[in-house]
Amino acid sequence: MCTHRCDQIGHTGSTLVDVEISHLRYFVAVADKLNFTRAAESLHMAVSPLSQRIRDLERELGAPLFVRDRRTVELTRYGEQLLPEARDVVRRFDSFTRTARQTKTEHGRHIVRIGIAPDVSTTLRTRVLDIIEDVDPALEVQLRPGSTEPLIAALDAGELDIALVHGPIASPDLHTVTLEIHSIAVIVARGLGFDDKTEIGLRELAALPYASIAFDAAPFLYRRVDEILTHCGVHKRLTLEGHDFAGLAHLVSSGRAFTLAALNGGMTTKAFAGDPVISLPVTRPKLTMTTVAAVLENRTEPRVETETITSILESLRASHTVP
């Protein structure tokens, strides 16, 4: 675990405090957003562990960094004084990390950074890794899990080379290749009158709320789903804060709502492993989810040669047959 000795960050009496760089990154994120939910989303983590890490940091420093109540989060005076120093430490650490990565590349290790959304299937993930291996065996793959929208933002920022996300993606700056199209199923608790069915229409679920993670995970996809559900008479919603699949599983498995998931063994489906639920293909109307590989059209300062990324995309395109 990487630590940075912060002689200007905090003191407890005359003793210097050892602070992990990740804690400082969390502190800066919450200070920027002044909202734990939005900060957790920007860090691609749940709210509860973020809050705990901030409490750990405050305990190490011996003073509170934030004033919290149910509606607002504000920096304490102590937090305001520490924030510029924390920003500087995070900036210098990130600069060091970038330099180290560049040095590795100069010594013959080439890294391709792949973002991967939750419902990308195991089969597709394996196919992508195999293709990268075939295109350039010297490439080292770094996987970055995340929801579609944060991964697209990371791609735009140059932090990723390829993003495997759920489309369609409406951005003129991105080039996409369709990789998978899977049917959508309803996941609903047993004992609600659907146990004997082998398929289902959405109108049959009008009495139940539809539960989902926050729409900002994949705005276009969730807006489209919301429109279809409303058209089919499903008007109740239970939308979780953040991207908490475990919380989604609790809501659905307890019979309080239903949700939708791709029939591909992705993360949403896996969240229900061992729970008393059934999965029914939606046939009225038939719903599908598309997974695409997205890259920036104009890559600046690429860490991997553009020709290599193009070869990977072309191989992925050739390996996919639209059903």
Buried b / exposed e over 225-246, threshold 16 CB at 10 Å, is bbebbeebebeeebebebbbbe
Strand partners, 23: none
Based on the domain organization, do 208 and 306 belong to the same domain?
no
Based on the domain organization, do 125 and 225 belong to the same domain?
no
Q: What span, in angstroms and rounded, lies between the C-alpha atoms of 323 and 317?
A: 14
CATH number at residue 258: 3.40.190.10
Name the domain boundary from 68, 88, 104.
104
Q: Note the pLDDT of residue 46.
A: 84
Based on the domain organization, do 165 and 313 belong to the same domain?
yes
Based on the domain organization, do 242 and 198 belong to the same domain?
yes
Q: Note the pLDDT of residue 173.
A: 86
Q: Note the pLDDT of residue 87.
A: 92
Name the domain boundary from 87, 104, 121.
104
CATH number at residue 47: 1.10.10.10
Based on the domain organization, do 85 and 218 belong to the same domain?
no
Based on the domain organization, do 8 and 56 belong to the same domain?
yes
Q: In a structure prediction context, what are the per-residue pLDDT tens digits for the chain, which is 323 residues long?
A: 344 444 444 444 434 456 788 899 999 999 999 999 989 888 878 888 899 999 999 999 999 999 998 788 999 999 999 999 999 998 888 888 766 666 555 455 678 999 999 999 989 999 999 999 999 888 889 999 999 999 999 998 888 999 999 988 878 889 999 999 999 999 999 999 999 999 999 999 999 999 999 988 888 889 999 999 999 999 999 999 888 888 999 999 999 999 999 987 788 888 999 999 999 999 999 999 999 999 988 766 666 778 889 899 999 988 865 55
Q: Note the pLDDT of residue 224.
A: 92
CB-based contacts of 178: which residues, under 8 Å, 6+ apart?
A: 167, 290, 291, 292, 317, 320, 322
pTM: 0.66
Based on the domain organization, do 41 and 28 belong to the same domain?
yes
Q: Range of 139's domain?
A: 109-178+291-319
Based on the domain organization, do 61 and 122 belong to the same domain?
no
Based on the domain organization, do 174 and 295 belong to the same domain?
yes
Q: How many domains does the chain have?
A: 3
Q: What span, in angstroms and rounded, lies between the C-alpha atoms of 295 and 252?
A: 35
Based on the domain organization, do 212 and 262 belong to the same domain?
yes
Based on the domain organization, do 205 and 239 belong to the same domain?
yes
Name the domain boundary from 46, 80, 104.
104
Q: What span, in angstroms and rounded, lies between the C-alpha atoms of 157 and 81?
A: 29
Based on the domain organization, do 205 and 284 belong to the same domain?
yes
